[in-house]
Amino acid sequence: MPSIAQSGATAPAERLTKTLFLRVTAITLALASASPADVVSQSLLDRPPNLSGGWVGNSGTLYFNFLHRFTESGEPEHKVSNVPTFLVAAGLPKRTLLGFNYATNSQLALRFPNEWEFFGRFAALLQDEGSPIDLAAQAGYNLAAEGADAEVSLGRRVGPARIMSAARVLSDPIESGKTRYAIAGGGTLRLGRFLALAGDVASLTSREAGERVAWSAGLHMAIPTTPHTLSLQAANTLTSTLQGSSRGGDDVRYGFEFTIPLTLRRYFGAGARPPSHGGEEVPAAPDTTRVATPDIDARTPAPGVPAPAPPDSLISDSMKVVTPDIDVRTRDTARTARAVRNASIRNFAFTPGRIEIAAGTTVQWKNNDPVAHTVTATDGSFNSGLIEYGKTYSRTFTERGTYNYYCIPHTFMKGVIVVR
């Protein structure tokens, strides 16, 4: 049975719901900024309410999304019914997402009040990785429909907009063995770094009595300094499964979706210790960071290092000079002073989590997350301040020792620098 709440006598529940929806929407417009759209993928900023858009998340991350859609019965009861859909999924390697949707109060099949959809999704192509389009495929099993469902989705980002389409093959929940087909399309438009408008439509290729074209629209936002996203939306569908999002009804439902990603990599030590290379530091990848070093002409010997003597064939014994001994430590110090070790901040984790370097090495962290982080010493000896997305922070470690650090807004993020 649907969960029911009695509205107040002074205002109908529908009017109250719409007013709250509009007021919260107006408040969130303050989050809009003039910055260009980020390319970092987020589950709600890059897809409309009823389309997956080929979203597969990040490897090593557990996702918990909960969607609530409400409808009001009208006079005289003004009863509000809630239909929630919960998504639990895990981001796996090779651009794969594995999970399930659970919807209560589903009306897909009257013999099943609840709807379970188990699915796996694979992204064959990703535009963010250099492909011209996003291409993904999903296959699953719906317990209420007692059959398998599948979807192939396409997507392409054009400036601040992302356009998506999908083709679906569905089991018929009423007539066993019958196959239904549906098509869908939609898009998102970034209004800034934290906001996006989204919408979609879908339809079964042959609709039966009571089945309408499905649609949804929403204002999606990323909550600053957190990994969470929120959608305020309206739709004429009940659930967000492939079956539910392909069938529209006569009632418009207002609701919200909230996402909770849980980064598990920090618990399993992914990237905690770099692989051994015989005790030698692996050279850092080239980057655009300029480390402050004296300008030295290539034709001029390095300070403290005499120029090499010309070949013996060009000078006589009387012209030979004695070359002074070169302190090997001088060259080693010059080399390590110019060494840069790159590290990244991604998926709410420092990678690698443990870095071993020689004294005089500079460590540079780059923030690849869409939220700000800090690199702060546990003992307070250094603090980067907030590092915005795409920005870097560098620090040179000249003294031997162990330096533990963490992120102030996200204290579970920890790392360690070991200076030999």
pTM: 0.62
One domain, residues 84 and 191: yes
Strand-pair category, 361-367 with 340-345: parallel
The C-alpha angle with vertex 408 and arms to 404 and 410, in degrees rounded to 5, equals 100
One domain, residues 356 and 234: no
One domain, residues 15 and 158: yes
Got the DSSP string for 234-260?
EES-S--STTGGG-B-SS-EEEEEEEE
pLDDT reported for residue 13? 54
pLDDT reported for residue 286? 38
One domain, residues 258 and 389: no
Strand-pair category, 414-419 with 354-357: parallel
* Domain extent for 381: 269-292+326-419
Contact criterion met (CB below 8 Å) for 277 and 359 = no
Q: What is the pLDDT of residues 359-378, one digit of tens each?
A: 999 999 999 987 889 999 98
CATH code, 33: 2.40.160.40
One domain, residues 157 and 214: yes
One domain, residues 247 and 279: no
One domain, residues 286 and 344: yes
Strand-pair category, 115-125 with 61-72: unpaired
**Measured CA distances, 76 to 2, 5, 69, 318 (Å):** 18, 14, 21, 116
Helix (H) or strand (E) holding 268: helix 265-268
Q: What are phi and psi of 413, to 5 degrees?
A: -80, 115
Does any domain span residue 183? yes
One domain, residues 257 and 274: no
Strand-pair category, 79-92 with 96-103: antiparallel
One domain, residues 225 and 94: yes
pLDDT reported for residue 273? 36
Helix (H) or strand (E) holding 22: helix 13-28
- CA dist 51 and 46 (Å) reads 10
Q: How many domains are there within the chain?
A: 2
One domain, residues 284 and 248: no
pLDDT reported for residue 147? 94
pLDDT reported for residue 9? 42
For the chain, the distance separating the N- and C-terminal CA atoms, rounded to the nearest angstrom, is: 66
Does any domain span residue 301? no
One domain, residues 234 and 335: no
pLDDT reported for residue 302? 44
Where the chain has pLDDT below 70, the residues are 1-42, 265-338
SS3 409: coil
One domain, residues 46 and 178: yes
CATH code, 381: 2.60.40.420
Contact criterion met (CB below 8 Å) for 82 and 3 = yes
